[in-house]
């Protein structure tokens, strides 16, 4: 059963398997391959200086870079509705204009630079919640958003280390709460993993 609740134009016919550059039609094998390639690309991003400012183009480029080896839609905004469980994400026609609003607001806040730590955490949680609610990509939203947050934090003078959180359940639960307009868990989680840049 797909985590997305409908037939997808991104999947092979009569299948929940995403069309991929390897033409793999077994979902488990695809997920294993995807994990290897995306971990490699994420590790490359960590050793390179992030783009400054961390704007919308940088956000889309992160998605393209992470998934470039696996999916033909890497770096592209999704063109269909998706949902997970009881959460339905933004309609495709609203994604690009809403992303522009988010990144315009980020620019107006100088990409969260020169903020005290508590205020930085609060504003970062707000923007992460907004990006999560949009879920602008067909796959790779969480990884892209987390890497974007890491780069945004770095440019703002902070170090954000998602690896300090054991497993993904805590991160997922925090984002689920944020989708329901409660950023408390997300702020608490960020408080655990954000430190001043060495």
Per-residue pLDDT, 7: 73
Ranges under pLDDT 50 in the chain: 1-5
For 81-84, the CB contacts below 8 A with 24+ separation are 81/6, 82/4, 82/8, 82/135, 82/138, 83/4, 83/5, 83/6, 84/3, 84/4
Q: Are 175 and 132 in contact (CB under 8 A)?
A: yes
Q: pLDDT tens for residues 10-55?
A: 999 989 999 999 999 999 999 999 999 999 999 999 999 998 999 9
Q: Which of 142, 139, 143, 159 minimizes the C-alpha distance to 151?
A: 159
- Say which CATH superfamily domain 27-196 falls into: Fido-like domain (1.10.3290.10)
Count of beta carbons in the 10 Å neighbourhood of residue 126: 18
Q: Which H or E run includes 158?
A: strand 158-160
Which two tokens mark 147? 């890497």
Q: What is the pTM of this model?
A: 0.93
Ramachandran assignment for 22, one of left (phi > 0), alpha (psi -120 to 50 degrees), beta (any other): alpha
């Amino acid at each position: 059963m797909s985590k997305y609740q409908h037939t997808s134009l991104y999947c092979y016919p009569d299948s929940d398997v995403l069309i991929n550059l390897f033409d793999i039609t077994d979902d488990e094998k695809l997920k294993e391959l995807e994990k290897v390639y995306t971990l490699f690309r994420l590790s490359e991003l960590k050793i390179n200086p992030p783009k400054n400012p961390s704007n919308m183009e940088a956000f889309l480029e992160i998605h393209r870079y992470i998934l470039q080896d696996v999916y033909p839609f890497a770096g592209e905004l999704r063109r269909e509705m998706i949902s997970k469980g009881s959460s339905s994400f933004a309609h495709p026609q609203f994604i690009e204009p809403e992303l522009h609003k988010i990144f315009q607001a980020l620019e107006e806040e100088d990409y969260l630079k020169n903020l005290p730590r508590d205020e930085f955490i609060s504003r970062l949680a707000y923007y992460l919640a907004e990006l999560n609610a949009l879920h602008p990509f067909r796959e790779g939203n969480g990884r892209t958003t987390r890497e974007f947050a890491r780069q945004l934090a770095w440019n703002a003078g902070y170090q954000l280390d998602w690896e300090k959180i054991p497993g993904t359940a805590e991160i997922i639960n925090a984002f689920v709460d944020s989708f329901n307009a409660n950023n408390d868990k997300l702020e608490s989680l960020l408080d655990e993993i954000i430190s001043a840049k060495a």
